[in-house]
Every structure is written in structure tokens, then in C-alpha cells.
């Protein structure tokens, strides 16, 4: 029987060389050989393969050192591009990302107000095509597509199992299959908060982090988990559905399945305006951002509303800390944009109830909606080229 070890070793060496070039370019062949600890002849063969595949290119010379000047090798960021889409209840964000994970173009459009999912998808396809044309990119260089959607997503099969009430007929939907037929490229579908966590790992607050939670506080509540270097999806793709967390024995007597969950009813964006209206009936039409504005201006009722709701957020985060012992908790979503009003109290409360070995960093996201675009794009790139290591954790 013929051994496949040499071929396997060659593939591993090629992967190593490609990642060294991507992460450190420009480099000469000699510099690559030194970093990879491989012979010059092996490096020359692998480099020629990558040049033939157009994954890298030659430009300039290495002026350092003595003797013959080595030609510098560059990773080809323009080998192709991917489109990342973040579907929201009120807006849709689209991003064009190059082959090195750099966001080159981004646009936002209002979520389409239609009742039929096929009409919705047709409009989405049109927006993607428009982004490609508006940015003067060759449609033939589109390599992959990623869509981040709210709801429970079967990542392996690209199916929306349970979706958002803000998107039409958004359940048991074979979204990957439909989008593949339109664009004829690999398509990745993932939960939007989970994609956001991958984006935070790639370009945000979770770089060089092995365990973390992303908590999204917006119209709804969701979370995503990174545990010991691996994105957790759960046995039925529902890991992170923190909006259904309960807080009392009385909560056990209520069916929360059609209400978004107990935690969501207590601490999502609309909860701030609702609680303020209950305590101040003359302000029935105030929005949540207006409640935060009142608190910032010193309104005591608004400040107390925020403090009371933050207590539930503290409890939820503390419960997660006891289970997964994360390094960081990142808060994102519309509520987090006013996080300066409650972050100090949140940190103080959590620190009071954690020990040295469970202490955790609490941060606000600095990416917000861009995180999901980055994350779903990195997932698309990784599914297309598994050999390229964009992040140092297992995201697939």
C-alpha cells in the first residue's frame, strides 16, 4: 500500500508557508525558510506553487544583509473577495472584504418590508449585486458569501431553523442553498451574534482571547460563547440563547417560548422605555434612547430604571461566569451604545461577586454592527480556504 505521509507533509508545509507569508509579508524566500525551519529547496518549490495559483506575488527586493538581494513575496489580498451580510430587524449591513479579511466597502439599507421570504431574498440578492457594481469589482472574483441572521441557525447545513419575527417566513429556510443558486459560490450562514463574536476575535476586543462571551442587548437579547479556543454552537445550534434565562421560581410557571424569554422581557432595549412608562405614566411615548438621554441629564426616575434593569444584566453575566469562567465579556447592541451610563456599576457589581480565579473583563464593543460583517466574512474565507489561519481559535 502506498503511503500518503509525504503528500500530507507537503500539504502541511504549504499551509505553513502560506500563513507565514500572509501574516508577515513582504518576505524573501530566505526569510520564509528561516521562519518555517524548512530547506531552501522546499521553500522554492512551495513558493512556485503559490505563485502559479496566484495566491502570492513577487514585488521589490530585500535590501537587508549582504550578497544577492532576495525578491520579496507578498500575499495577494486581491486574489478575490467575499461579501458579508448582517440581517437585522430594522437594517441590513453589507460589507465587501478582501482575501485578507480587510473590510474595503460597507453599506447599510433599511430592512425590506415585505411579507414573502422569496421576495425578501430577491431584494437581498439585488443589494449584493449593487454593492459589487458600485465598488467596481469584478463579479467573477467573488469567492464566497456569508450571511449572518438572527435566530437559531444550522451552521453545517446552512438552514435557518428558527428566525426572527422581523424577517418574513424566516424558519426552516434553506438559505445557503438558495443563495448558492444565485451566486454559484460557497455560502456560509451563521447566527448574527455568533458571527459578531468571531468578528470581535478577528478585529475587536477578543483578539488573543481563548474564552469569552459576547452579549447583545438590543431589540432582543442574545449571546455567543468562546470556550477554551472553540466557538460553541451546542447540540442543536441553540447555545447562547440567553434571552430565555429565568430569574425566579415564579418564572418557571410561565411559558416564555412565545415571548422571547424572561431575560429578554426584563432587559432588552424596549424594556427601558416600558419600565419608565410604568413609573411615569405621563411619558407613555418615550423611546429607550430618550430614557437614556433623560438619565444623562440627571432625571432620577430614568437613572433608577437603568440601575434596576442593569441588576438583571449583572445576574445573567454572573451566571454565565460561574459556568464557563471567561476572560472577557463584551457587550454590544443598541443598549451598549449608552453603556457609559451603566458600565461602571455593572463592573462593580460583577467584581463584588467574583473571585480571583473568576474575575473577568467587562467591555463595550468597539465594532458593533461591523463585528458581524467581519465575523461572517472570516467564516466564509475560512470555509473557502481552510488552510489559511485567520484566527487562533476554532471557529468552524
CATH code where residue 9 lies: 1.10.10.10
Domain shared by 176 and 318, yes or no: no
Q: Is 305 domain-assigned?
A: yes
The three-state secondary structure class of 79 is helix
Q: In this predicted structure, what is the pLDDT of residue 45?
A: 95
Q: Which of 39, 57, 75 is the last residue of a domain?
A: 75
pLDDT tens digits for range 75-118: 999 999 999 999 998 899 999 999 999 999 999 999 999 999 99
Q: Is 391 domain-assigned?
A: no
- CATH number of the structural domain spanning residue 286: 3.30.420.40
Q: In this predicted structure, what is the pLDDT of residue 89?
A: 86
Q: In this predicted structure, what is the pLDDT of residue 65?
A: 61
CA distance 274 to 228: 38
Domain shared by 347 and 218, yes or no: yes
Domain shared by 95 and 239, yes or no: no
Beta-carbon neighbour count of residue 207 at 10 Å? Answer: 11
Domain shared by 67 and 148, yes or no: no
Total number of domains in the chain:
3
pLDDT tens digits for range 235-270: 999 999 999 999 999 999 999 988 889 999 999 999
Positive or negative torsion for Cα 45, 46, 49, 54: negative
Q: Is 396 domain-assigned?
A: no
Q: In this predicted structure, what is the pLDDT of residue 4?
A: 45
Q: In this predicted structure, what is the pLDDT of residue 380?
A: 97
H-helix or E-strand spanning residue 102: none
Domain shared by 347 and 377, yes or no: no
Q: Which residue positions in the chain have pLDDT lower than 70?
A: 1-6, 64-68
Residue-range definition of the domain harbouring residue 85: 79-198+371-384
Domain shared by 156 and 265, yes or no: no
8 Å CB contact between 211 and 185 = no
Q: Which residue is it, cell 455567543?
A: 224
Q: Is 204 domain-assigned?
A: no
Q: In this predicted structure, what is the pLDDT of residue 70?
A: 85
Q: Where are the beta strands (DSSP E) in the chain?
A: 56-61, 71-75, 81-87, 91-98, 103-110, 142-149, 152-154, 159-162, 171-173, 187-191, 212-217, 221-227, 230-232, 328-332, 361-364
Domain shared by 243 and 330, yes or no: yes
- 217 contacts: CB under 8 Å, gap ≥ 6: 267, 268, 269, 313, 331, 332, 333, 334, 335, 336
Q: In this predicted structure, what is the pLDDT of residue 2?
A: 41
Q: What is the mean pLDDT of the chain?
A: 94
Q: In this predicted structure, what is the pLDDT of residue 43?
A: 95
Q: Which of 25, 49, 75 is the last residue of a domain?
A: 75
Q: What is the pTM of this model?
A: 0.93
Domain shared by 88 and 70, yes or no: no
Domain shared by 242 and 352, yes or no: yes
Domain shared by 95 and 115, yes or no: yes
Q: Is 109 domain-assigned?
A: yes
8 Å CB contact between 263 and 316 = yes
Q: Is 338 domain-assigned?
A: yes
Domain shared by 250 and 144, yes or no: no
Q: In this predicted structure, what is the pLDDT of residue 284?
A: 77
Domain shared by 249 and 353, yes or no: yes
What are the CA-CA distances from residue 43 to residues 14, 27, 35, 191 (Å)? Answer: 9, 12, 11, 40
Amino acid at each position: 500500500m502506498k503511503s500518503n505521509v509525504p503528500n500530507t507533509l507537503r500539504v502541511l508545509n504549504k499551509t505553513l508557508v502560506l500563513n507565514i507569508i500572509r501574516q508577515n509579508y513582504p518576505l524573501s524566500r530566505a526569510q520564509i525558510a528561516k521562519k518555517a525551519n524548512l530547506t531552501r529547496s522546499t521553500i522554492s518549490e512551495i513558493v512556485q506553487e503559490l505563485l502559479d495559483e496566484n495566491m502570492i506575488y513577487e514585488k521589490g527586493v530585500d535590501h537587508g544583509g549582504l550578497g544577492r538581494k532576495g525578491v520579496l513575496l507578498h500575499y495577494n489580498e486581491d486574489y478575490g473577495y467575499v461579501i458579508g451580510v448582517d440581517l437585522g430587524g430594522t437594517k441590513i449591513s453589507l460589507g465587501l472584504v478582501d482575501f485578507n479579511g480587510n473590510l474595503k466597502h460597507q453599506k447599510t439599507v433599511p430592512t425590506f418590508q415585505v411579507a414573502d421570504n422569496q421576495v425578501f431574498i430577491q431584494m437581498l440578492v439585488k443589494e449584493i449585486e449593487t454593492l459589487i457594481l458600485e465598488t467596481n469589482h469584478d463579479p467573477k472574483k467573488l469567492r464566497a458569501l456569508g450571511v449572518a441572521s438572527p435566530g437559531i441557525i444550522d451552521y453545517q447545513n446552512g438552514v435557518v431553523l428558527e428566525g426572527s419575527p422581523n424577517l418574513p417566513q424566516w424558519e426552516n429556510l434553506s438559505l445557503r442553498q438558495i443563495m448558492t443558486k444565485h451566486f454559484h459560490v460557497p455560502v456560509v450562514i451563521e447566527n448574527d451574534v455568533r458571527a459578531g463574536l468571531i468578528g470581535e476575535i478577528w478585529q475587536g476586543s477578543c483578539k488573543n482571547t481563548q474564552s469569552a462571551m459576547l452579549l447583545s442587548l438590543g431589540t432582543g437579547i442574545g449571546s455567543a460563547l468562546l470556550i477554551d479556543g472553540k466557538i460553541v454552537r451546542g447540540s442543536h445550534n441553540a447555545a447562547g440563547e440567553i434571552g430565555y434565562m429565568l430569574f425566579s421560581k415564579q418564572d418557571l410557571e410561565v411559558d416564555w417560548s412565545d415571548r422571547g424569554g424572561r431575560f429578554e422581557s426584563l432587559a432588552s432595549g424596549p424594556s427601558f422605555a416600558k419600565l419608565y412608562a410604568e413609573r411615569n405614566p405621563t411619558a407613555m411615548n418615550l423611546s429607550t434612547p430618550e430614557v437614556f438621554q433623560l438619565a444623562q441629564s440627571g432625571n432620577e426616575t430614568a437613572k433608577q430604571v437603568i440601575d434596576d434593569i442593569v441588576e438583571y444584566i449583572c445576574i445573567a453575566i454572573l451566571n454565565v461566569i460561574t459556568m464557563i469562567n471567561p476572560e472577557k465579556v463584551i457587550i454590544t447592541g443598541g443598549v451598549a451604545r449608552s453603556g457609559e451610563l451603566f458600565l461602571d456599576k455593572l463592573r462593580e457589581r460583577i467584581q463584588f461577586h467574583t473571585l480571583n480565579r473568576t474575575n473577568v473583563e467587562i467591555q463595550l464593543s468597539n465594532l458593533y454592527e461591523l463585528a458581524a460583517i467581519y465575523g461572517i466574512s472570516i467564516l466564509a474565507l475560512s470555509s473557502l480556504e481552510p488552510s489559511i489561519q485567520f484566527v487562533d481559535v476554532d471557529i468552524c
